[in-house]
A and B are shown apart, each in its own frame.
Chain A
Amino acid sequence: MSRLTGVFAKLKAQRKKALIPYVVAGDPSPSGTVELLHQLVAAGADVLEVGVPFSDPMSEGLVIQLGHERALANGMTLRGVLDIITDFRRDNTHTPVVMMGYANPIERFGYDSFAEASSVAGVDGLITVDLPPEEVGRLDHALIQVGIDNIFLISPTTENERIETIVARARGFIYYVAVKGVTGSGQIDVNEVAQRVGVIRGMTDLPVAVGFGIKDADSASHVAQVADAVVVGSALIDEMVRKSRADASLEEIQIHEAAVQLLKRIRSGVDSSPS
């Protein structure tokens, strides 16, 4: 059983929902990311989503765009992200890690070499925003060879017929994008999300994670009522940026603390949700 499948099965048995924080590898600093990942696990993360910085992150809102820019300015590369995950795995072999990024750095790395290197590093899943089902075939094949789950996205505009073909290929979990828009934008419509997640559940037994537009304990609690997992990204990064702006003399670990505190509040929101 893969790490992702195992975690979702365990949570289901405990009638709990998964919490998935997203951070950008290399932001605020490359040397601090491993520690940040451990801190997030301690604060209640069940799965980690690690952003691979790209020069042209077309699906990101401003908060995450700037995170990508900082990470690249810090010299972060795809190889560097894999090194971070390798380091993280030295002290944590149980928390699944999903990488999220864009096609071009992976194209450049080479699909087969990338799949192999990710497997060695201990990656469990991959989300590539600009590789929809029509384009992900070759990479997906390489990922299957090494036992990594390609995580497919479904959005509010995805028609039912298309959902059916997507879930047929999906592994690990389904990522439902809750708003039309970029990361961190928009106000989530819980009723609409419930209806769409219901449609997806009618077609697959895979867990459904919901992301984009979840900002705090309250919105997380609402989403957790209908989803198996809640993804939160921009809000965590925004907290860290605010804290470092407010006091330039802080150590990086204290900046991380801002994300940790928010994640703990969101954890309690998720856990308070009647399932």
Chain B
Amino acid sequence: MTVEVTPELFASVPDANGRFGQFGGKFVAETLMTALTELQALYASLKSDASFIAEFDRDLAHYVGRPSPLYEASRLSDQIGGARIFLKREDLNHTGAHKVNNTIGQALLAKYMGKRRVIAETGAGQHGVATATVAARLGLECHVFMGEEDIRRQSLNVYRMKLLGADVVPVTSGSRTLKDAMNEAMRDWVTNVDSTFYIIGTVAGPHPYPMLVRDFQSVIGREARTQSLSQTGKLPDALVACVGGGSNAIGLFHPFLQDLGVEMYGVEAGGKGLSTGQHAAPLSVGSPGVLHGNRTYLMQDDDGQILETHSVSAGLDYPGVGPEHAWLKDIGRVRYVTADDRETLEAFHRLTRIEGIMPALETAHALAYAEKLASEMSPNQHIIVNLSGRGDKDILTVAALEGIEV
């Protein structure tokens, strides 16, 4: 790629067609095109609308509990050595993860469009719970599509969604995980497009979703930037976040993209190891293609069929990634790396035991890499890790992996 990376570059994407360089776009069936155009127009008008912004900010403050703290994990830093590690505590949000920032925003858009029915796809269940939560609060009918395999490994979140009044629809096609849940949500949307708002949980899907999810999640990075300046007197030296679809990562990264001195690392799920093929690391070892409405890096075979993925964490078990990440990789602004299942579990235990903070398994991927990174940096540097979610939902998975009956 020969794009010159200047601070101005980042404000130029996506273009009017939803492109981030060669990535992004609107690769959907004709039936959905009008709905996407309407959403795009509505969002363009509300984006700078003072009352819309005020309503969003009010909900984030009083319903979600923002701003979330930037916490210095000193005991962890002492044990690891090297750079100071700060955690952006998205796990303290209402519902326990960053996902709710986006569902609040999209539910507001649904309200402005007069749609009374919302649908969502979910992997780990965090986005499903966050959608069911805002639907309950606004009195909307809510259907959450979830792969049968994920329903099995995230039974606590399934029950949470049901308690919140959502209908959890098991998806039995394909690999029965997040990608298949997204296929099924798209099928529902195309069928009920007049009455239904599709609340996509990550920075993927057709334009304008990658842009609007990014904008709603960017509150993470804006707060972190201010907090870093006030707590340390400077910007962080590096940012680290896990990447499945990539919404928590883009939320942290985006407000820092123009600060070219801040290094960024997106951590994909290395699964059982990149050489085994059993992982979910399209940016690390995939190739460009088209899935779920956008062009991006994918895990695919030579015939263009999408491959099944593996990760210990349901939320990263996805063969694609948001198109802005694909672009950030190609222009070299963000480095994409991996942490495998074993390193992830170690990081999960370490943070739990040393800081008394139990991270989601998705988040533990970021921690695993951040520890390595910190150990190679100096004590006058600091890293911000996006602590994107809490790990309560994963305790049965962790117990099962360790042969413990709860």
Listed in ascending order, the chain A residues whose CB lies under 8 Å from chain B are 54-59, 61-62, 65, 69, 72, 77-79, 102-109, 129-132, 134-135, 152-159, 162, 177, 180-182, 185-186
Contact = CB atoms under 8 A, between A and B. Distances in A.
Interface in B298-345: 298, 300, 302-306
A105 B288 CA distance: 11
Contacts of B275: none
Contact of B31 (A65, A105, A134, A177): A177
Given A58-B183, A134-B26, A157 B304 contact: no
A69 B305 CA distance: 11
A107 B22 CA distance: 13
Given A78-B304, A79-B303, A182 B187 contact: yes
B30 A155 contact: yes
B380 to A, nearest CB: 47
Nearest to A182: B187
Given A108-B302, A135-B27, A158 B187 contact: no
B193 A157 contact: yes
Contact of B34 (A102, A109, A159, A186): A159
Nearest to A175: B30
B191 A185 contact: yes
Contact of B194 (A58, A158, A180, A186): A180
Contacts of A134: 17, 25-26, 33
B69 interface: no
Contact of B305 (A105, A162, A185): A105
B179 interface: yes
A61 B188 CA distance: 10
A78 B302 CA distance: 10
B200 interface: no
B323 to A, nearest CB: 13
Interface string B160-183: 000000000000011000011001
Nearest to B191: A181
**In which size bucket is the chain B interface?**
35 or more
B303 A108 contact: yes
B26 A132 contact: yes
Given A55-B306, A134-B25, A155-B29, A104 B191 contact: no
Main secondary structure of the interface of B (DSSP, over half): mixed
A182 B189 CA distance: 10
B173 A65 contact: yes
B290 A56 contact: no
A140 B68 CA distance: 49
17 contacts: A56-B291, A58-B29, A69-B173, A78-B304, A79-B303, A104-B291, A104-B300, A105-B304, A107-B304, A129-B29, A130-B293, A132-B26, A132-B28, A132-B30, A155-B30, A157-B193, A177-B29
A54 B305 contact: yes
B373 interface: no
B81 interface: no
B186 interface: yes
A79 to B, nearest CB: 7
Interface string B129-161: 000000000000000000000000000000000
A59 B35 CA distance: 16
Contacts of A185: 191
Given A104-B298, A180-B191, A186-B191, 19 more contacts: A56-B183, A59-B190, A61-B187, A78-B303, A103-B290, A104-B300, A106-B304, A108-B303, A131-B27, A132-B28, A134-B26, A135-B27, A152-B30, A153-B30, A155-B30, A177-B30, A180-B193, A181-B191, A185-B191
Contacts of A154: 30
A59 B290 contact: no
Interface of B: 17, 25-35, 173-174, 179-180, 183, 186-187, 190-194, 288-293, 295, 298, 300, 302-306
A106 B187 CA distance: 22
A131 B191 CA distance: 19
Contacts of B291: 56, 104
Contact of A130 (B27, B193, B305): B27
Nearest to B289: A104
Contacts of A132: 26-30, 33
B290 A130 contact: yes
Contacts of A180: 31, 190-194
Given A109-B304, A181-B190, A156 B31 contact: yes
A58 B304 contact: no
B320 to A, nearest CB: 10
A130 B206 CA distance: 11
Contacts of B303: 77-79, 105, 108
B174 A103 contact: no
Contacts of A107: 288-290, 295, 304
A108 B300 contact: yes
B298 to A, nearest CB: 7
Contacts of A72: 305
B223 to A, nearest CB: 36
A18 B383 CA distance: 66
A58 B25 CA distance: 17
Contacts of A152: 30
| 6 smallest beta-carbon distances between A and B, as pairs | A108-B304, A105-B304, A181-B191, A155-B31, A103-B290, A77-B303
Contacts of A104: 289-291, 298, 300, 304-306
A157 B300 CA distance: 32
A130 B30 CA distance: 8
A153 B30 CA distance: 6
- Most A Cβ at <10 Å: residue of B193, B295, B303: B303
Nearest to B185: A58
A155 B304 CA distance: 27
A103 B29 contact: no
Given A104-B289, A108-B302, A182-B187, A157 B173 contact: no
Nearest to A54: B305
Contacts of A108: 289, 300, 302-304
A169 to B, nearest CB: 13
